[in-house]
Amino acid sequence: MLSYKKTKRRDALGEAGRPMSTRRFTRVEISVLAEIEYDDRVIAGEIMEISLRGLFVKTGEKIPLGRQVYVKARYLRKEFQFPATVIYEQEQGVGLKIDEINLPSFFHLRELIASKIDDPDAVIQETFIMADIITG
């Protein structure tokens, strides 16, 4: 079952609850089932938060830090998929950085994020920062 909560743009909190200054993209809470492929394995997960550049996936499986994975998810009958790298681990899951994304997946992801925030124009501004990883 898919669900989402409309959220405002927010900064992530790092250790001891301090804001992380490295995050430049609007992150939204979402609940979308996903498949993560790596090393000839496919594991199930649930995307809990997503931005144009990264995501947090809740999963019972441990994926090694620095491992490159391939993410596939479907939201409102549209699929998005992309390669990503594990950049942090938590007990509940992993944080992934999107390495590159094809144009259809990017447009769908951008539309998804814009629909869940109070200032959809913010996502348009973030598109310019993304230009280096969008592929035809």
Helix (H, G, I), strand (E, B) or coil at 89: strand
28-48 pLDDT, tens digit per residue, is 899 999 999 999 999 999 999
82-93 pLDDT, tens digit per residue, is 999 999 999 999
Domains and CATH numbers, the chain: 3-135 (2.40.10.220)
Q: How far apart are CA 27 and CA 35, in angstroms?
A: 20
Of 23, 132, 20, 32, the closest CA to residue 76 belongs to 32
- The residues that bridge with 73 in the sheet, in sequence order, are 34, 80
Using the predicted structure, report yes or no on whether residue 11 has a pLDDT greater than 90. no
Q: Please say whether the beta carbons of 47 and 34 come within 8 A.
A: yes
Q: What percent of the chain has pLDDT over 70?
A: 81
Of 70, 129, 74, 78, the closest CA to residue 96 belongs to 70
